[in-house]
């Protein structure tokens, strides 16, 4: 069981002062194995905070990030080979402002094919999305602070926790709606050739 936190678009301090307190109390160091961050933190303080939650931190560059050295996209592999089965998930990260049209599934699918990953984690729109297409799964964890977005008027703070176990990934999405944290979950399973959703 590998826990991967997917989070991004905090826009601290330009659009929000801090993570919602209820989220902060849930994110405890030592429980998460990897953090995937889609970008737009925007300052070092947030980077350092994530580092305290988990040392294995992967960030891609958002257009407002203070640190310009983050890569445009990144891939990482999770899991090990088991006898006879492919027990690995390849994850790709990309902020998404580079992919036109913004938030378009088909265009994102192309990126997924290009990076050759099972799961593509992307942001920019501040809207939580998790959908499966022929080539794999695209997950958008939304904005962890519910930051202003020109995309949508209705932004609830959200982030995603993925539980990767062998060929199966359970996606938990945490949303802050009217002051309460609501959790939802979606199952994805990877077959030998392509993943399918349950």
Interaction site with other proteins (CB under 8 A): 11-18, 21, 43, 45, 63-64, 97-98, 100-102, 106-107, 109-110, 113-114, 116, 134-135, 148, 150, 153
State which residue, 50 or 54, has the beta carbon closest to other proteins: 50
Dist CA 142 CA 125 (whole Å): 7
Least Å from the CB of residue 33 to other proteins: 26
State which residue, 135 or 157, has the beta carbon closest to other proteins: 135
Least Å from the CB of residue 1 to other proteins: 28
- List the 73-78 sheet strands across, edge first: 73-78, 89-94, 119-122, 136-141, 128-133
Please report which residue ranges of the chain form alpha helices under DSSP H.
Answer: 21-26, 44-53, 105-115
Least Å from the CB of residue 109 to other proteins: 8
State which residue, 13 or 29, has the beta carbon closest to other proteins: 13
Q: Tell me which residue of 128, 129, 126 sits closest to 149, measured CA to CA.
A: 126
Least Å from the CB of residue 100 to other proteins: 4
What's the token pair of residue 188? Answer: 């994805």
Least Å from the CB of residue 14 to other proteins: 4
Q: Tell me which residue of 101, 98, 82 sits closest to 166, measured CA to CA.
A: 82
Least Å from the CB of residue 20 to other proteins: 10
Helix/strand/coil percent split, the chain, to 5: 15, 40, 45
State which residue, 33 or 107, has the beta carbon closest to other proteins: 107
State which residue, 18 or 175, has the beta carbon closest to other proteins: 18
Q: Tell me which residue of 70, 21, 20 sits closest to 41, measured CA to CA.
A: 70
CA–CA distances in Å: residue 61 to residues 103, 118, 164, 178, 189? 17, 21, 25, 30, 29
């Amino acid at each position: 069981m590998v826990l991967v936190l997917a989070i991004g678009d905090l826009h601290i301090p330009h659009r929000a002062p801090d993570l919602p307190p209820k989220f902060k109390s849930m994110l405890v160091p030592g429980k998460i194995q990897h953090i995937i961050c889609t970008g737009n933190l925007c300052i070092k303080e947030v980077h350092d905070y994530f580092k305290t939650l988990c040392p294995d931190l992967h960030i891609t560059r958002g257009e407002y990030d203070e640190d310009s050295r983050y890569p445009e996209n990144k891939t990482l592999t999770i899991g090990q080979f088991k006898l006879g089965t492919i027990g690995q998930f390849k994850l790709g990260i990309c902020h998404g402002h580079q992919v036109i049209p913004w938030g378009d599934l088909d265009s994102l699918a192309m990126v997924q094919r290009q990076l050759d990953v099972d799961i593509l984690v992307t942001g920019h729109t501040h809207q939580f999305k998790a959908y499966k297409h022929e080539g794999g799964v695209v997950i958008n964890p939304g904005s962890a602070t519910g930051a202003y977005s020109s995309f949508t008027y209705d932004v609830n703070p959200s982030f995603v926790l993925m539980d990767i176990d062998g060929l199966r990934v359970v996606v938990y999405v945490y949303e802050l709606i009217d002051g309460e944290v609501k959790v939802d979950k979606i199952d994805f399973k990877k077959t030998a050739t392509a993943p399918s959703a349950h």
